[in-house]
């Protein structure tokens, strides 16, 4: 039984790593495609600047799990936060909720802004 949990934990950990994209892969993934782009930061952070066409769903709010129910679980979904920690949390929640194609931006909005200038 313990071995099963260890293997499951390892597989889940690998999936989370595989679904973290660097700036180039993330940008390519969201360009001109019919995707869901979610900013998981607070509303104040979102209002201070965001990636074009991103929808705000604060992963730390009590409504996050309810909000993601409005999304299409089969559609490619791209997540980001400020630096990549909260989007990792959101990624895990969404994979656990059955999302099939969900990815997050390694380095978050900080790396996005840095690469845009």
Contact 13, 96 (CB under 8 A): no
Q: Which parts of 23-86 are beta strand (E)?
A: 36-39, 55-56, 77-80
Domains identified in the chain, total number: 1
Domain span at residue 94 reads 2-116
**pLDDT surpassing 70 at residue 13:** no
CATH code, domain with 23: 3.40.250.10
The 10s digit of each residue's pLDDT in 53-98 is: 999 999 999 999 999 999 999 999 999 999 999 999 999 999 999 9
């Amino acid at each position: 039984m313990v071995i099963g949990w260890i293997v499951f934990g390892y597989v889940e950990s690998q999936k989370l790593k595989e679904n973290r994209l660097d700036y180039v892969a993330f940008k390519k993934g969201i360009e001109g495609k019919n995707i869901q782009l979610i900013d998981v930061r607070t509303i104040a952070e979102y209002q201070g600047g965001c990636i074009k066409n991103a929808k705000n769903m604060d992963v730390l709010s009590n409504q996050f799990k309810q909000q993601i129910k409005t999304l299409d679980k089969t559609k490619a979904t791209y997540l980001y936060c400020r630096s990549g920690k909260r989007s990792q949390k959101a990624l895990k929640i969404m994979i656990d909720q059955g999302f099939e194609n969900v990815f997050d931006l390694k380095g978050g909005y900080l790396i996005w802004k840095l690469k845009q200038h």
